[in-house]
Amino acid sequence: MKVRIQPPFYSPLQIEGGIGQATTTEVELDRSVKNTFIITIAILILSILLFPGSVWSMTLIRFATLAPEGSAWMNTMHELDEEIRQQSGGEVGFKFYPNMSMGDEKDVIRKMRFGQINGAGFTGFGLGEILPEIRILELPYLFRNEEELDYVIDKLNYYFQEKLSERGFILLDWADVGWVYFLSKKPAAQPEDLSSLKVWMWQGDPLAAAFFAELKTSPVPLSIMDVHMSLQTGLVNAVYCSPLAALLLQWFTKVEYISDIPFTYSIGAVLVDKKTFDRLSPEIQSMLLETSRKHLRKLVIRSRKDNEEAYDQLLKEGLKQAPSTQAQRYEMMELGQRVHQRLTDDLFPRDLLEMLYETLSEYRSESENE
């Protein structure tokens, strides 16, 4: 490769021997450029051998969620993405698909299995599509407060981590959806009230199906993506969700009442595909897990506060509380116990239910003795 220095820096007329004849200066420049080129290539090759991930590629986790932009969920995920990119030196990051843009949770799971999506934030419904027995944490009238839930999840976390891993998913951490209430056109405080309503049921949800079977009512199975329109058309006139979800999804605008007590707690979690996770170095894996836990545990605290405020906001927006008597609450709790038994050895094994009951009893005993 010959380099000729053009005017005004060096004129061909000044080259000894005339135009077209290389001088000593040109030859030296030629060799210098070649040497620089060879050294550069050598450095690149050495870098590839020593640091293959950091030089040529980054692992981009394509992440889907039902949550819309601007929600606490998405704000937390953006914070997590920013920190993990900085900590990993750009080796790993997220690309987000919020607001159901990748479809219902069943659609997201299918896309994860085909490698189109690498991670997602799931509600209990989506988690149950992957690992049915995880829905045991959402049994109706199981927990009295969030502290009981936290204690049980902490004790059983290892079990669910292993089971999810066996199915090809890594649990980054849990992320609550919140206490679940009925929202309806008419007051719904007892089984008879719900039986007279056209209640939405998340299509394909075995836990909800068992609950409504005990209520002796026929729900309307729909994808979560079709609920708002179905409320508008009157296909359904009752739904169930957390207060925050009622606000974000705008379902509250189509109903008039909200129950005074919740009937279950909706769990959530963030998962990544195991194949994607296994491509990361052990150091980056640990970094991703630790950073995710830090941010998602902050999200749990934030979500619980937001749900409390959302319930109050729904009342300010004009929803009326559907009051229930103590007798009606006991009746619903007894119904919940029948659901527990109905799903045992079907949705989850009996020994897992016994383990959960034992853990819950352990916590309540400790709390009473404090």
CA distance 173 to 329: 33
How many Å separate Cα 112 from the centre of its chain? 13
Judge contact between 118 and 61, C-beta under 8 A. Answer: yes
Say whether both 200 and 322 belong to one domain. yes
Over residues 146-155, the mean pLDDT reads 97
Say whether both 191 and 336 belong to one domain. yes
| CB neighbourhood size of 169 (10 A) | 25
Q: Does the residue 2 lie in any domain?
A: no
Quick one: pLDDT at residue 283? 97
CATH of the domain at 206: 3.40.190.170
CA distance 306 to 183: 18
Tell me how many domains the chain contains.
Answer: 2
Q: How many residues are recorded in the chain?
A: 370
The parent domain of residue 30 ranges over 12-50
Q: Does the residue 5 lie in any domain?
A: no
Say whether both 46 and 60 belong to one domain. no
Say whether both 17 and 102 belong to one domain. no
Say whether both 198 and 226 belong to one domain. yes
Judge contact between 332 and 341, C-beta under 8 A. Answer: no
- For the chain, counts of helices (H) and of strands (E): 14, 12
Min mean pLDDT across 5-19, 219-233, 294-308 is at 5-19
Quick one: pLDDT at residue 32? 55
pLDDT classification of 42: cutoffs 50, 70, 90: low
Quick one: pLDDT at residue 30? 54
Judge contact between 236 and 199, C-beta under 8 A. Answer: yes
The backbone torsions φ and ψ at residue 205, rounded to the nearest 5 degrees and listed phi first, read -90, 110
Say whether both 139 and 33 belong to one domain. no
The backbone torsions φ and ψ at residue 219, rounded to the nearest 5 degrees and listed phi first, read -75, 170
Q: Is the pLDDT of residue 267 over 70?
A: yes
Say whether both 30 and 119 belong to one domain. no
Min mean pLDDT across 23-32, 51-60, 317-326 is at 23-32
CA distance 353 to 139: 10
Quick one: pLDDT at residue 369? 82
Please provide the DSSP assignment of 184-248 as one string.
ESS---SHHHHHTS-BEEETT-HHHHHHHHHHT---EEE-GGGHHHHHHHTS-SEEEE-HHHHHH
Say whether both 29 and 172 belong to one domain. no
Q: Does the residue 116 lie in any domain?
A: yes
- pLDDT one-digit tens code per residue, 272-315: 999 999 999 999 999 999 999 999 999 999 999 999 999 999 99
Say whether both 20 and 139 belong to one domain. no
Say whether both 122 and 26 belong to one domain. no
Please provide the DSSP assignment of 55-119 as one string.
HH--EEEEEE-SSPTTSHHHHHHHHHHHHHHHHTTTSEEEEEE-TTTT-SHHHHHHHHHTTS--E
